[in-house]
Structure 1
Amino acid sequence: MKSFKCSARHGYAVEISPFFPNRLACATSQYYGIAGCGTLLVLEQREPDILLLNSLDWNDGLFDVTWSESNEHVAVTGGGDGSLQIWDTANPRGPLRVLKGHTQEVYAVDWSQTRGENLLVSGSWDHTARVWDPESCQSVATLQGHEGVLYSTVWSPHIPACFASTSGDGMLRVWDVKAGSCQLAIPAHKAEILSCDWCKYDQSIVVTGAIDCSLCVWDVRSAGQPVAQLLGHSYAVRRVKFSPFYKTVLASCSYDFTVRFWDYSRSPALLDTVEHHSEFVCGLDFNLHIPNQVVDCSWDETVKIYTPPCLAALQTGTS
């Protein structure tokens, strides 16, 4: 395991570059995001450590980060002042552009991955999702429907102009940007839903994680009840991610200080529980380039990169 100390910065989100297997970006905030500024940390894993390549400061907390799918040096963050910041991660100066439109904290940002599409989506505490053209830096759509703050907005990796969102209203919504409307609304939890993610192998499968400590796996073609409900966390589930290497494997991190790995096709579904943080674990990602490598970040001011034994066992067929 490799570890990096983010001095006086509390980790909210971390994402590995789609271009460089050893590069990652971590969105952080001072004072647990309640006050102070934010910093985007650009990191690189090398033997035996994680090195700081660049530190980019913003005048408010940073709560999420996404890498560009078209420029290997560009990353986008969402801030507590309601703006999105587009950064050249190789340049120590301020952001290239600042996108303004939301009226409250931006808690989610994601860059589309479908071929031929170059769009950003953001989710805010102002109850709206916005879609942006990063080339023109213009908002191309504002989508309303949630009755609570938005915590998560994630593009489908399969369907163009389609994203999912989750909110404090307990709803999972699926949106069609071309139609400018919500295509599906699922009352996924009787609690605030902090995160969602799409399966990388099945365009109909979405997972949600909520403050009721549970994860629910949904088939959006038949959403009357979840395909699976995953129980084990003792506090709110902060972020969920599907594996890019296994159809039914996913990970979750929580305010219970743990990261858990699941295979929802099995019983029991829980593969492993990783306990290496001393505070809320807020950020989580799989490495697209290095099978079974995971990165997470926590309010304990650390970023950790590791390969869980349960995933290594799946790879060798010994699980």
Structure 2
Amino acid sequence: MQGLTDGGALSWSWDKTLRVWDGQNGQCLAVLEGHSHAVWGARQLADGRILSWSEDSRLRVWDWQKGECLAVLEGHSSKNYGKVYGAQELADGRILSWSEDRRLRVWDWQKGECLAILEERHSPEIWGKSWGEPLYAQELADGRILSCWKDSRLRVWDWQSGQCPVVLEGHSPEIWGDLLYAQELADGRILSWSEDKTLRVWNAQNGQCLAVLEGHFFKVEGARGLADGRILSWSWDKTLRLWDGQSGQCLAVLQGHSSGVRGAREL
């Protein structure tokens, strides 16, 4: 099927629906209804279909041109509905999702089948509440899955076996749990950043921390690896920093913003 029209847009809402829009004339091309709670996110798949996920603990795959739901992926659950925080398409067309129920799942959406459940059973508790929720996940170049968790750890999974052979530990948790994100660098190492004001570079094979990048004096909002191997980070301390991606040395501090820096990219 075709993808969204040129300049088109996909939106999702607390009203439980998704909409597809013509970006040229503002016309609504499709209303996708079926979720029973707020839709938390959506994305277009490689074949043009749309994947959505919701507070109702379900994911749905849509043929947006027909307004038809092709698959409902059920399995995430918790006493709070098990809202699905995020999902993405893997390289082979399968779907990866993560939820407040402390699990990641891999799906064959065409069969409506859950192929793997990735679950961390040993997350710590703070004030009696488990902090073991996955915040974000992504597929690595070698097919394994990297996940960032609210307990300030990163985990690397072999999803086919359901095993987690590598745990990346070092970021310091806050009382309310760290905001922690990561990305794979071009050479296969992992870059992570956190509310603990630091960035870290990791060996994804054995979990070794290769470098700690310290200098920001407020939480790190984001980071990315640059084409020349350096690392760019930005923070609520109003600065950006350039780092040597191997040694972790700070090469430059970019100052000028009068408030926290929300994002940056290489031109």
Report the TM-score when normalising by structure 1: 0.60
Q: Quote the offset at 1:39 in angstroms.
A: 5.0
Match for residue 198 of structure 1? 184
1:136/1:154 CA distance change after superposition, 3 Å: same
Tell me if 1:106 matches 2:87.
Answer: no
Match for residue 219 of structure 1? 203
Larger Rg: 2
SS of the residue corresponding to residue 165 of structure 2 reads strand
For structure 2, the 5+ residue unaligned runs are 124-131
Count residues in correspondence. 244
Q: Quote the offset at 1:159 in angstroms.
A: 0.8
Matches within 5 A, 1:127-142: 127-142=102-117
1:216/1:176 CA distance change after superposition, 3 Å: same
1:185/1:55 CA distance change after superposition, 3 Å: same
- Aligned mates of 1:101, 1:253 — CA distance in 2: 37
Give 1:97's aligned amino acid.
A
2:138 touches 2:147 (CA, 8 Å); kept in 1? Answer: yes
2:218 touches 2:237 (CA, 8 Å); kept in 1? Answer: no
Match for residue 311 of structure 1? 266
Match for residue 38 of structure 2? 61
Q: Quote the offset at 1:122 in angstroms.
A: 1.0
Tell me if 1:268 matches 2:251.
Answer: yes
Q: Deviations over 1:106-138 (max 9, x none)?
A: 11212112xxx2221111111111111122121
Q: Which has the higher strand share?
A: 1
Q: RCO (CA 8 Å, sep 6+): is it higher in 1 or 2?
A: 1
Match for residue 99 of structure 2? 124
Q: Quote the offset at 1:176 in angstroms.
A: 0.6
Match for residue 193 of structure 2? 209
- Aligned mates of 2:231, 2:44 — CA distance in 1: 21
For structure 1, the 5+ residue unaligned runs are 1-18, 31-36, 285-307, 313-319
- Aligned mates of 2:27, 2:231 — CA distance in 1: 27
Cα RMSD of the aligned pairs, angstroms, is: 4.3
Match for residue 152 of structure 1? 136
Tell me if 1:95 matches 2:69.
Answer: yes
1:41/1:270 CA distance change after superposition, 3 Å: farther
SS of the residue corresponding to residue 156 of structure 2 reads strand
SS of the residue corresponding to residue 95 of structure 1 reads strand
1:53/1:196 CA distance change after superposition, 3 Å: farther
- Aligned mates of 1:25, 1:250 — CA distance in 2: 32
Give 1:67's aligned amino acid.
Q
Give 2:251's aligned amino acid.
P
1:262 touches 1:272 (CA, 8 Å); kept in 2? Answer: no
SS of the residue corresponding to residue 105 of structure 2 reads strand
Q: Quote the offset at 1:145 in angstroms.
A: 1.7
Of 217, 234, 246, 2:227 maps to 246
- Percentage of identical aligned residues: 20
